[in-house]
Structure 1
């Protein structure tokens, strides 16, 4: 059996306002969220931790010394087919108007039969939304940038209990 996971049927959800307080999130921090699927996604981008490089040019050694600094989970560029009636897109646009960060969930399409899929949880600011109109034979798009302001909680797919 292949351990590959296809992107098709992966779902993106938005929750309520959720501030990162400096303590790493765990999965249970997201159990009380009410999730709204953001429908029509055509590109979910990607994200993950990247450490900043700290350097010191030491004269006596004639060498640049390096160490890892703070970690940034990055940003996600989300693209959706524009649907003004979709509750998830409506919530996304409302979140962009807020100065707060929001809970997000990504659910992969990798659940074992009767089990649960892999999940990613995080808090992010909705930085922008733009409508992309393009040419006559195009589908209008909604583009947004999610600036992740927390760790990304990884929950593995699980077999059905029983």
Structure 2
């Protein structure tokens, strides 16, 4: 078993990408032009959760739980605020739009000479807010991504 640190991970924003009925696959993202969102401090979390549907059966005195539609909680990115970073600028611009954008997360887990694992998805940039905190703090850009698709998992590969 091998585990990896989050350190070295990268997040990229692509262009506008429309939602679709079917799950996305890796090839759906192959024509994207990616811009790295730099100065990341935290990546938040990424993944799906089912909505709970309950039914209380009177005769059984038992509440039954079913899985409903799936949704991902927001992915919360925290960046050191960098006015010159093209990725941060693209994310701030995307927050002003109603569209979903393509995103890619690349991990620092490539085998020697191989390729790293990646995650692909589409999301709306729901918020882009600046946090200033105290005198001895780095000013931050907080981005909230509303994930609107499945997450495509691509495993790290040997050379």
Q: SS of the counterpart of 1:114? A: coil
Matching residue of 1:4: 3
Cα distance, 1:73 vs structure 2: 2.0
1:95 aligns with 2:94: yes
- TM-score for the superposition, normalised by structure 1: 0.95
Structure 1 partner of 2:76: 77
Q: Cα deviations across residues 113-149 of structure 1 (Å, max 9, x unaligned)?
A: 1111000000000001111111111110000100100
Structure 2 portions without partners, runs of 5+: none
Task: Measure the CA separation in 2 of the matches of 1:63 and 1:8.
Answer: 46
Q: What aligned pairs does 1:12-27 form with structure 2 within 5 A after superposition?
A: 12-27=11-26
Measured in 2, the distance between the counterparts of 1:73 and 1:142 equals 21
Question: Is the 1:101–1:124 Cα contact (8 Å) retained in structure 2?
Answer: yes
- 2:59 is paired with a residue whose SS is coil
Match of 2:146 in 1: 147
TM-score (norm 2): 0.97
**1:121-132 to 2 correspondences below 5 Å:** 121-132=120-131
- After TM superposition, the runs of 4+ consecutive aligned structure 1 residues lying more than 4 A away are none
In structure 2, the partner of 1:157 is 156
Aligned to 1:86: 85
Partner of 2:63: 64
Question: What corresponds to 1:45 in structure 2?
Answer: 44
